[in-house]
Structure 1
């Protein structure tokens, strides 16, 4: 009985120390020059998986010759890819086909890829990814993503 009480007291002590340690860095002075708004938020598993897959697609596409920057958001089985082409290069049909094949080959859950070089849409996709990374729920972006997909399909 006494042994059990000692174990419980030790556990409570460890938990209190851990709790105090976790709270110690919440004031601005202890962040030592770090941007307070630059903190990370834990993202739920399904949203994290979407972010990871989207970033993987972006990383693949930006490695292509002639692509300066790429962003992506995945919605169900559709990848929305925003592209910024390098100076003096164009997003040709051949380049679009290369991007589509690359994305579909590297993510077996993607069935359709929509591509745009519209700067406004590129920024919208970037903002969605940024919001998800800050912990905002994916469900809050569904309508916006659907609008983006429809706009890209209409423009192509």
Structure 2
């Protein structure tokens, strides 16, 4: 019986030692991870000036794209707003086509998510998609929305 109690005590001490080592290792690893976080400072004069109205249009357009890309079968979406019209260009998933049902879902979703939109124009044209992406990139980098009004208007008319 004495041997049994000694073995049990040794096993308890051994398990307690292992548990202590594991906890110490985990705490040590967390410290290492915390020390590796590097803060990146941006230069003071690197901000990009974007007009408030342009920023609102950009944000609304990006939000709509985010909603549309969540739909089943849609791989990517780019949206640009022109007055009360949203031009939504989508890239469909492999072996998926843009059907009338999908168009109706996109239309309803956009109208539901942005009450300032009264018309949704939907395109599955890759060229239109990349034109919208390029315009949105320029707008986010500080270009004026006014600079693209003609081009956006033509895109909307072309895809109606």
Cα gap change, 1:138 to 1:97, in 2 (>3 Å): same
Q: Please show how residues 1-156 of structure 1 align to structure 2 within 5 Å.
A: 25=43, 41-153=48-160
Q: Secondary structure at the match of 1:110?
A: coil
Cα gap change, 1:40 to 1:73, in 2 (>3 Å): farther
Query: Deviation above 2 Å: which 4+ runs of structure 1?
Result: none
Q: Secondary structure at the match of 1:135?
A: coil
What is the aligned-residue RMSD (CA, Å)?
1.7
Distance 1:62 1:143 in 2: 27
Distance 2:73 2:142 in 1: 33
**Equivalent pair of 1:40/1:134 in contact (CA under 8 Å):** no
Q: Which moved more, 1:100-109 or 1:40-49?
A: 40-49
Which stretches in structure 1 are left out of the alignment for 5+ residues? 1-23, 27-38
How many residues are matched? 119
TM-score by length of 2: 0.71
TM-score by length of 1: 0.73
Q: Secondary structure at the match of 2:94?
A: coil
Distance 2:132 2:43 in 1: 33
Q: Secondary structure at the match of 1:69?
A: strand
Distance 1:89 1:65 in 2: 10
Q: How far did 1:119 drift?
A: 0.6
* Max Rg structure: 2
